[in-house]
Structure 1
Amino acid sequence: MDKQTDFVLRTIEDRGVRFVRLWFTDVVGSLKSVAVSPAEIEGAFEEGIGFDGSAIQGFSRVYESDMLAFPDPNTFQLLPWRGEVDPTARMFCDITTPDGQPAAADSRHVLKRALDQAAQRGFSFYVHPEIEFYLLERDSVENWPLRPADQAGYFDNEPGGTANDFRRRAVGVLEELGISVEYSHHEVGPGQNEIDLRYADAQTMADNIQTLRTVVKEVGIEQNVHATFMPKPFPDQPGSGMHTHFSLFEGDNNAFYDPAGEYELSHTARQFMAGVLHHAAEITAITNQFVNSYKRLWGEDEAPSSIAWGHNNRSALVRVPLYKPGKGQSTRIEYRAIDSAANPYLAYALLLAAGLKGIEEDYDLPPEAQDNVWELTPAERRAMGIADLPGSLEQALAIMEESELVAETLGEQVFNYVLLNKRQEWKDYRAQVTDYELRHNLNRL
């Protein structure tokens, strides 16, 4: 028994933990949980906890349904919102087949596999996400129209306001869970907030994002508001993105940093950016996986819809943040299309794979976009060689289906399930008669 496993077992006994929640993520990004008693945990470390994988979206076919969940002792944390009455802890799990092989459809394993491939090239992958979400009046979710929980705007300080109290509580819970928060503030839309997590390796960060989503939902219930990570809940307000900053490290050295390079970017950083841009359209069905995601991308509210990069240019898909001379460890790039509803394991695996492909094949980085891309006409963008991201989930799936990079990174089972699941979503959406159609056509046609 290793030290961390021993620590978990002793903590469970010393703190009187009554329940341990074992967490894992399905292909769509939904968090799954099974609560086990403390007496079962030692056995779970050694033999796993069995479950029916065919009942989980994308996990397995009926004839190969048996799965095992092995808790990762390094992710053990007590859940602060459960209090001291019935102390409850959680651990993330790795999913295997009965013969001990990693489950092909385990999102966490998809990312681990991509990180292993980066490690074979001497790289470790660090990320720093800015996670946006809306707070809504709880009764408006059941009795439309939706109403935001406040009318504040960007960086507004609203003394005694709902958002201030909410963020203070949410940040406190996250820090009790060992998740470092760098910033939190009100965003542009009424009721819209943002929490930025301090950078960490991609595997830890994907776990942290899943935990943050749960924390935000739980604190919302406490404070009688409804928290949503839906990409675009209001047609006339900005959508919720998850802008993510990336960097590759070689040991303790930032592989993206070159003091002699333009914007202090190394050749490796420029190749990585070129790879992300080259494959951006192919991965969009994962970074923006819902019909509603495209309302954000094409809603003309600060979301990028064209494949371009720029230095400190917030209209670009890939932004090179303002560099700090002499602070090479902070050199990074930012991908701005990904939204807050993405499966972070799959999204980060694909962004890493795209960047590594650019390094391996020495892709050329296209010229920098120095203009406001949002203000360019389609003809102007074409003349500058700037392509667009897919305009709908249907288009994104059609492009992804032809992508060798996505198929190889996700693996056959996840790749096929995403196509099947999302095509059904598009089919269901296409059959809907919307309020817009009724308002504009019912009386005049």
Structure 2
Amino acid sequence: MGSRAAEQRQEARQLAARLSAEGVRNVALTWVDNAGIARVKTVPAERLAAAAERGVGMSPVFDVFTSDDAITASDHLGGPDGDLRLFPDLERVTTLAAQPGWAWAPADRYDQLGLPHPACQRQFARRMTERAAAAGLELRMGFETEWVVTRAPAGHPAATGADEPLDYPCTGPAYGMTRVVELSDYLRDVTEALSVQGIDVLQLHPEYAPGQFEVTTAPGDPVRAADDVVLVRETIRAVSVRHGLRASFAPSVVAGQVGNGCHLHLSLYRDGTSLHRTPDAQWGLAPDASAFLGGILGALPALLALGCPSPASYLRLQPSHWAGVYQCWGVENREAALRLITGAPDDPDGGHAEVKTFDAAANPYLAVGAVIAAGLHGIESATRLPEPQTGDPGVLGVRERARRGIVRLPATLTEAADRLEKSAPLYEAMGEVLHGAVLAVRRAEEAHFAESEDDAIAAATRWRW
């Protein structure tokens, strides 16, 4: 143990020296709270080795922060007492291309005795990844990130006037090349910054809503995928600032318009072999893959409290908007909450699944960890996938949906939180402390916006993510 600690100290010193030589002066250590906000402590580059050895102090109260920076409490967390230590993941230290002089690292949280903090979401994602590995499963995950870009208000880039009209820097049609032409320098800088930082961009394109774009990045192991989506968002934000623009990843930027999703893609492998392309198997799914997806499908009402954690999320989750608001799955069906993507036979990205309901208000570590937990429960309980659905469930009558066994997913955060509270598999996977902290934050968000109109909810949360 002592030898390994000495090696880590040496590694941290060498890394700090390299960063200083590259002109890096500060390192941002981030974690994502239960409201989906990326919080940060920063250290000078020359202090990185000390941070890696002893951690950086922080209060446990951040686990019960809400999206508007109010503080609630759970049975285990809240108030001014206690201390935790942030430890940067040295393997993920990244020099930031759009923030000269800065580097970034995701952090894990421990108590002062060196024990894992039971509410650390990143370690939860790692535990679930290890649980899958113990069952002989390898998971690869990746996110699609959607955002809306506007011009920053004159004279004050951080202004947040709720009644201020949004000034879109592009006017082209949905998915139109015109938007790319109008913002070609900006989009080039986004992809270049991501590439320099080691993020493999699969595609970038205009989306449906005004000023909306989407970037898809390559899959990786679940913890890395969650790290990557944090880095992607903050890179887009930084590039936007340098272009006099603002980026919003909020689920609903303008009430009544198509919102921002953050779809989660996943694929399963055993001994290096895809379980999504099994010859002669129904839908190409090996039995474990079918049961895993069945577990996710069955847990979706509870998973919404993690993947769609804001009252604003439910402004986005509207039928017939490709958001997946009905608890069903389909083969290449973009209205199904769980979509099976077959791809062409020679497509390396084919043969995986997509959870369409999630958005960028979600803590990505909670999202990947909970999806894995739900899938593993599906295998343990030998869950069977029902028949896939075709077409848009939203255009079917109530009786026809009932005949097909299609039900609406929770339409409010309250309903989703109630389902999470009752989910024994997710409670077991998350543990009492993390599960309780998440529910405390959800209940506080519900209460805060209980009397708010849709426009007020969208305006209040527009720039929080």
CA drift of 1:323 comes to 3.0
Match of 1:77, as an amino acid? T
User: Which residue does 1:399 correspond to in 2?
Assistant: 419
CA drift of 1:235 comes to 3.2
1:113-162 CA-to-partner distances (Å, cap 9, x unmatched) read 11111111111211122111111232395352334332223331127744
- Work out whether 1:233 is the aligned partner of 2:244: no
Q: Secondary structure at the match of 1:355?
A: helix
Normalised by the length of structure 1, the TM-score is 0.91
8 A Cα contact 1:60 1:105, kept in partner: no
Q: 1:291 to 1:159 in 2, by over 3 A?
A: closer
Matches within 5 A, 1:218-229: 218-229=238-249
8 A Cα contact 1:152 1:186, kept in partner: no
Matches within 5 A, 1:118-129: 118-129=132-143
CA drift of 1:246 comes to 0.7
1:325-366 CA-to-partner distances (Å, cap 9, x unmatched) read 256774111111111221110011111111111112111111
> What RMSD in Å do the two structures reach over aligned CA positions?
2.2
8 A Cα contact 2:37 2:361, kept in partner: no
Matches within 5 A, 1:35-434: 35-55=42-62, 57=64, 60-62=77-79, 65-83=82-100, 87-139=101-153, 142=161, 143-158=163-178, 161-298=181-318, 300-325=320-345, 330-432=350-452
In 1, distance between residues paired with 2:79 and 2:16?
34
Q: Secondary structure at the match of 1:231?
A: coil
8 A Cα contact 1:307 1:386, kept in partner: yes
- Alignment gaps of 5+ in structure 2: 1-6, 66-75, 154-158, 457-465
In 1, distance between residues paired with 2:354 and 2:216?
13
Task: Using the TM superposition, name which of 326-335 and 380-389 deviates more.
Answer: 326-335
In 2, distance between residues paired with 1:268 and 1:224?
49
Match of 1:20, as an amino acid? V
In 1, distance between residues paired with 2:253 and 2:455?
14
Q: Secondary structure at the match of 2:116?
A: coil
Match of 1:167, as an amino acid? L
In 1, distance between residues paired with 2:57 and 2:205?
42
1:211-232 CA-to-partner distances (Å, cap 9, x unmatched) read 1111111112111222111112
8 A Cα contact 1:27 1:105, kept in partner: no
Match of 1:27, as an amino acid? N
Task: Using the TM superposition, name which of 4-13 and 310-319 deviates more.
Answer: 4-13
CA drift of 1:64 comes to 5.2
CA drift of 1:269 comes to 1.7
CA drift of 1:287 comes to 0.7
Q: How many matched pairs?
A: 433
Q: 2:21 aligns with which of 3, 9, 14?
A: 14
Task: Using the TM superposition, name which of 231-240 and 362-371 deviates more.
Answer: 231-240
8 A Cα contact 2:226 2:364, kept in partner: yes
CA drift of 1:103 comes to 0.8
Q: Secondary structure at the match of 2:263?
A: strand
8 A Cα contact 1:134 1:193, kept in partner: yes
Q: Secondary structure at the match of 1:310?
A: strand
- For CA contacts below 8 A with separation 6 or more, give which structure has more relative contact order: 2
Q: 1:41 to 1:360 in 2, by over 3 A?
A: same
Q: Percent identity?
A: 26
CA drift of 1:194 comes to 0.2
In 1, distance between residues paired with 2:431 and 2:227?
21
Q: 1:210 to 1:417 in 2, by over 3 A?
A: same
8 A Cα contact 1:163 1:191, kept in partner: no
In 2, distance between residues paired with 1:329 and 1:31?
29
Q: 1:180 to 1:379 in 2, by over 3 A?
A: same
1:395-419 CA-to-partner distances (Å, cap 9, x unmatched) read 1111111111221222212211222
Match of 1:23, as an amino acid? T
In 1, distance between residues paired with 2:377 and 2:345?
29
CA drift of 1:15 comes to 2.2
Q: 1:259 to 1:6 in 2, by over 3 A?
A: farther
Match of 1:88, as an amino acid? W
1:137-191 CA-to-partner distances (Å, cap 9, x unmatched) read 3239535233433222333112774443322111111111111110001001110
8 A Cα contact 1:257 1:329, kept in partner: no
8 A Cα contact 2:414 2:443, kept in partner: yes
Match of 1:78, as an amino acid? T
